[in-house]
């Protein structure tokens, strides 16, 4: 069982991932308003925030004022039965509520505690509040995103990555507990999550001492690899090897042995010329013609879809990435589904039935009755 004390996105996303895998997730919310994201909109549908709906499937909701004696007693009872507790308070808040790490492990020595913060729980900036866009900027991600000026990623990627890193860390700690019998604290942060995905941009600086630069919709170190205009709309092409280059070049009327473009390093150095040549060729035909032509030659290419096109795409549907759930007030709604599939389960995630994001306090009675069973 997972106790979810989190709000907004990073923590709720981590808890939802565990719920997708079959865990019972009990989300503890403040009685007055609950999770902040319940109020984040528009859009709202019959009063329900679509933001909240995105991060809270496969959970139950209970309300408790953790500053009150009754709320503290309720959380104490939950902790004693829990396998994982997830929190994303600012450092020190849980301690002041009377639930420090030591106190939590006194209540339940096997408890795995996942703590997600903005910039880490210690260090000179350990107390800073964490918000996605600020972390994207502070963590360097915005400096390599965009064409002209630093640009944030369209999705709240720092929050989502922190949730993902946190969930896999919690699973590792649970595996360790199966051997040792003891729980531990797993920590991550928005800052850590952003730096964790620097990939080759990071080593470009740490090893080569070169600052990565923004290259817009093109790969920083491979060419041609990016978005190109055709007669009607843009498509994306990824030429990832010299063999692919020798196949691709004649399609757009280029000599693969042209000294400007013969190897990848030269193509990167002459990227602007290469892009202009490709787009001059692409201008002769619409996108669908080029996509078919490239597919015939085995060159990776694709459309740039909007969200309607993504969720109506047969490939999306075939992968279980859109699920139906029965919401207590909205009726049957569709949600983006769990991104994992298991061979022995035809459903998205590891559950046979996905639960809708709960109404605030929807499970107050049932969870408290469950706790009373062992009282």
CA 46 to chain centre: 27
Cα 174 to Cα 177: distance, rounded to the nearest angstrom: 5
Contact between residue 322 and residue 354 where contact means Cβ atoms under 8 Å apart: no
Q: What would the two tokens of residue 321 be?
A: 């990435």
Q: How far apart are CA 80 and CA 110, in angstroms?
A: 9
Give the tokens for residue 120.
């880490």
Which of 84, 81, 72 is CA-nearest to residue 184?
84
Q: List residues bridging with 44 in a β-sheet.
A: 49
Six-digit token pair at 68?
């009150």
Comparing C-alpha atoms, which of 79, 83, 82 is closest to residue 173? 83
- Report CA 188 to chain centroid distance, whole Å: 14
Separation CA 1–CA 235 (nearest Å):
45
Q: Note if 159 is an active site residue.
A: yes
Tell me whether residue 212 is exposed, middle or buried, using C-beta atoms within 10 angstroms of its C-beta: 0 to 12, 13 to 18, 19 or more.
Answer: middle
Question: What torsion do the CA atoms of 157, 158, 164, 169 make, to the nearest 10 degrees?
Answer: 160
Sign of CA dihedral 193, 197, 203, 209: negative
CB distance 358 to 15 below 8 Å: no
Selection from 291, 271, 272 nearest residue 282 by Cα: 291
CA 81 to chain centre: 28
Whether omega for the bond prior to residue 224 falls within 30 degrees of 0, making it cis, is: yes
**What are phi and psi for residue 325, nearest 5 degrees?**
-130, 155
Catalytic residue among 4, 20, 83, 159: 159
Active site residues: 159
């Amino acid at each position: 069982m997972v106790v979810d004390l989190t709000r907004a996105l990073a923590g709720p996303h981590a808890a939802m991932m565990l719920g997708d895998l079959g865990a019972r997730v009990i989300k503890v919310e403040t009685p007055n308003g609950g999770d902040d994201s319940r109020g984040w909109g528009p859009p709202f549908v019959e009063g329900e925030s679509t933001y909240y709906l995105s991060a809270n499937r496969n959970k139950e909701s209970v309300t408790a004022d953790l500053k009150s004696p009754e709320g503290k007693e309720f959380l104490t009872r939950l902790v004693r039965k829990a396998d994982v507790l997830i929190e994303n308070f600012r450092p020190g808040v849980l301690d002041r509520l009377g639930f420090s790490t030591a106190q939590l492990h006194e209540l339940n020595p096997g408890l795995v505690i996942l703590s997600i913060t903005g910039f880490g729980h210690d260090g000179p900036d350990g107390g800073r509040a964490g918000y996605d866009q600020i972390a994207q900027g502070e963590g360097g991600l915005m400096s390599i995103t965009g064409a002209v000026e630093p640009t944030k990623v369209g999705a709240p990627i720092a929050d989502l990555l922190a949730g993902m890193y946190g969930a896999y860390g919690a699973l590792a700690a649970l595996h360790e507990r199966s051997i040792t019998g003891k729980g531990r604290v797993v920590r991550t942060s928005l800052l850590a999550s952003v730096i964790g995905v620097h990939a080759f941009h990071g080593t470009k600086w740490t090893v080569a001492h070169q600052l990565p630069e923004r290259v817009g919709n093109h790969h920083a170190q491979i060419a041609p690899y990016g978005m190109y205009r055709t007669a009607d709309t843009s498509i994306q092409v990824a030429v990832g090897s010299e063999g692919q280059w020798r196949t691709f070049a004649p399609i757009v009327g280029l000599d693969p042995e042209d000294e400007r473009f013969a190897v990848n390093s030269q193509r990167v150095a002459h990227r602007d010329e290469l892009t202009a040549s490709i787009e001059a060729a692409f201008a002769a035909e619409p996108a669908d013609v080029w996509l078919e032509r490239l597919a015939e030659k085995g060159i990776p290419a694709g459309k740039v879809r909007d969200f309607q096109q993504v969720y109506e795409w047969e490939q999306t549907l075939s992968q279980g990435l859109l699920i139906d759930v029965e919401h207590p007030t909205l009726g049957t709604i569709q949600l983006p589904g769990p991104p994992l599939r298991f061979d022995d389960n035809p459903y998205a995630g590891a559950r046979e039935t996905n639960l809708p994001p709960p109404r605030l306090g929807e499970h107050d009675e049932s969870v408290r009755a469950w706790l009373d069973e062992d009282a």
